[in-house]
Amino acid sequence: MDPAEVEFLAEKEMVCIIPNFNFDRIFLISGEIGPFRAGLPVKVPIWMAINLRQRQKCRIIPPDWMDVDKLLEVKEIESQSRFFTKMPSEHYMVEARLLLGAAAEDIPRTDEIRTVLKCFPNAIHWVLSMTCL
């Protein structure tokens, strides 16, 4: 898969937002979204969350896995294992890049999250080098 396809798939993942507007349910090919009520959380695809955030229509709530402590825990498990560790999300790197790029002010400890995520590829390369010996 090329990077554009991976990004397309990542944008379809659901994330929770807090809208600052009211609107009825939206019917999309992929399913229904909403209704939107100001101040009440609702799950939407990442592409919609980013679009609404750019128009200052919502605040994005980061996914549960996008927490420094949880990422450090996964990193620790991965570094101690000779096998691949299940990552927090199938497209976690792309999702993180999209969400941190569009809504960094909505996500606590963004710099630490970026630092921890940068360490994951290094651990993957280490596991590959150990299993190929």
Residues 82-111: tens digit of each pLDDT: 777 777 788 888 999 999 999 999 999 999
**Which of 68, 129, 107 is CA-nearest to residue 76?**
68
CATH code matching the domain that covers 3-131, chosen among 3.40.50.2000, 3.40.50.10490, 3.40.50.300, 3.40.5.50 = 3.40.5.50
CB count in 10 Å sphere of residue 70:
14
Mean pLDDT of 129-133: 46
Is residue 100 within 8 A of residue 63, CB to CB? The reply is no
Question: What pLDDT score was predicted for residue 89?
Answer: 82
Residue 95: Cβ-neighbour burial (10 angstroms; 0-12, 13-18, 19+): buried
Model confidence at 132, pLDDT cuts 50, 70, 90, reads very low
pLDDT at 121 over 80: no
**Which of 48, 51, 71, 85 is CA-nearest to residue 117?**
71
- Strand 58-61's sheet: what is its strand order? 42-45, 14-19, 58-61
Instruction: Compute, in degrees rounded to 10, the torsion defined by CA atoms 98, 104, 105, 109.
Output: 130
pLDDT at 124 over 70: no
pLDDT at 118 over 90: no
**Which has more confidence, 127 or 100?**
100
The position carrying tokens 């809208």 is: 19
Every domain of the chain and the residues it spans: 3-131
Evaluated on CA atoms 82, 118, 46, 5, the torsion sign reads: negative
Question: What pLDDT score was predicted for residue 130?
Answer: 44
CA distance 83 to 128: 9
Evaluated on CA atoms 123, 126, 127, 128, the torsion sign reads: positive
The position carrying tokens 């691949």 is: 84
Mean pLDDT of the chain: 87
Model confidence at 6, pLDDT cuts 50, 70, 90, reads confident
Predicted TM-score (pTM) of this structure:
0.83
